[in-house]
């Protein structure tokens, strides 16, 4: 069931989104060679709690961290730990915050020091595919219009969208209906209505769409071993077009 939010609820979601975006920005600035993913996670948890919010991911399905931190060939759901970030790594951070009963959810991939042109292109294409998906999130369109906007742009650039994991509705629950796949056909799927709030989150692999989950039950890596990038915003569908709720 898709839950439509009232204008008051959208204001609450904007606050949750703001904290989520601020902490993502802060964490991104801290991505440097020599830093561990656990240090990033601690910084993230401290900031979120300092705002009177709670990390959405902490304990979700038993997840141990406050953020998912995924490096290079890791796509999503990397568990923060003692891994040290190296020069040239690309580091995807996915983080959400809940306050006053509503969640924000967002992600970005950050460069640690100098990265290769190929890694930079992957990040640029993934970020732009999110922008294209957001632009397609107009009231009256359908979920498939978002999916197609993301997929077609990614594939035109020679990369592959992950199919095993998808975006989602977000609100008083971190994951709500509808699913928002990063692949699909235009004019298909649920109709976008004002008051819908969704997380659009392309996960893009350099080579091949396949992914697998490691023995820890969380960390998801590319089948091919290639790099992967991930960008996400929580947005609201409104009569005046899509509004990004995860803005610092
Ligand atoms: Mg999400």
Instruction: Tell how far the Cα of 199 is from the centroid of ligand 1, in angstroms.
Output: 6
How far apart CA 21 and CA 234 sit, in angstroms, is 10
How far apart CA 162 and CA 209 sit, in angstroms, is 5
* CATH 3.90.230.10 describes domain 7-244: yes
pLDDT tens digit string along 172-222? 999 999 999 999 999 999 999 999 999 999 999 999 999 999 999 999 999
pTM for the model: 0.98
Element (H, E) at 110: strand 102-111
pLDDT tens digit string along 37-92? 999 999 999 999 999 999 999 999 999 999 999 999 999 999 999 999 999 999 99
pLDDT tens digit string along 129-148? 999 999 999 999 999 999 99
pLDDT tens digit string along 16-43? 999 999 999 999 999 999 999 999 999 9
Nearest partner of 175 among 105, 247, 244, judged by Cα: 105
Instruction: Tell how far the Cα of 87 is from the centroid of ligand 1, in angstroms.
Output: 27
Instruction: Tell how far the Cα of 60 is from the centroid of ligand 1, in angstroms.
Output: 12
Instruction: Tell how far the Cα of 232 is from the centroid of ligand 1, in angstroms.
Output: 7
Instruction: Tell how far the Cα of 117 is from the centroid of ligand 1, in angstroms.
Output: 27
Instruction: Tell how far the Cα of 151 is from the centroid of ligand 1, in angstroms.
Output: 17
Instruction: Tell how far the Cα of 175 is from the centroid of ligand 1, in angstroms.
Output: 7
């Amino acid at each position: 069931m898709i839950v439509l939010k009232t204008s008051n609820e959208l204001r609450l979601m904007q606050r949750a989104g703001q904290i989520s975006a601020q902490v993502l920005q802060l964490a991104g600035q801290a991505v440097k060679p020599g830093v561990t993913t656990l240090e990033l996670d601690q910084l993230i948890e401290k900031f979120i709690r300092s705002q009177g919010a709670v990390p959405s991911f902490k304990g979700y399905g038993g997840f141990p961290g406050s953020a998912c931190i995924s490096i290079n060939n890791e796509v999503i759901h990397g568990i923060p730990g003692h891994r040290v970030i190296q020069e040239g790594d690309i580091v995807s951070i996915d983080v959400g915050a809940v306050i006053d009963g509503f969640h924000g959810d967002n992600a970005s991939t950050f460069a640690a020091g100098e990265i290769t042109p190929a890694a930079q292109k992957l990040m640029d294409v993934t970020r732009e595919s999110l922008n294209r998906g957001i632009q397609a999130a107009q009231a009256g369109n359908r979920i498939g219009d978002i999916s197609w906007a993301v997929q077609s742009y990614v594939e035109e650039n020679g990369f592959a969208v992950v199919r095993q994991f998808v975006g989602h509705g977000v609100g008083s629950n971190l994951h709500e209906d509808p699913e928002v796949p990063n692949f699909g056909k235009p004019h298909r799927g649920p109709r976008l209505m004002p008051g819908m709030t969704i997380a659009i989150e392309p996960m893009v692999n350099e080579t091949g769409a396949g992914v697998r989950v490691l023995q820890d039950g969380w960390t998801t890596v590319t089948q091919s071993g290639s790099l992967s990038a991930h960008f996400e915003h929580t947005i609201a569908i409104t009569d005046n077009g899509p509004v990004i709720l995860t803005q610092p």
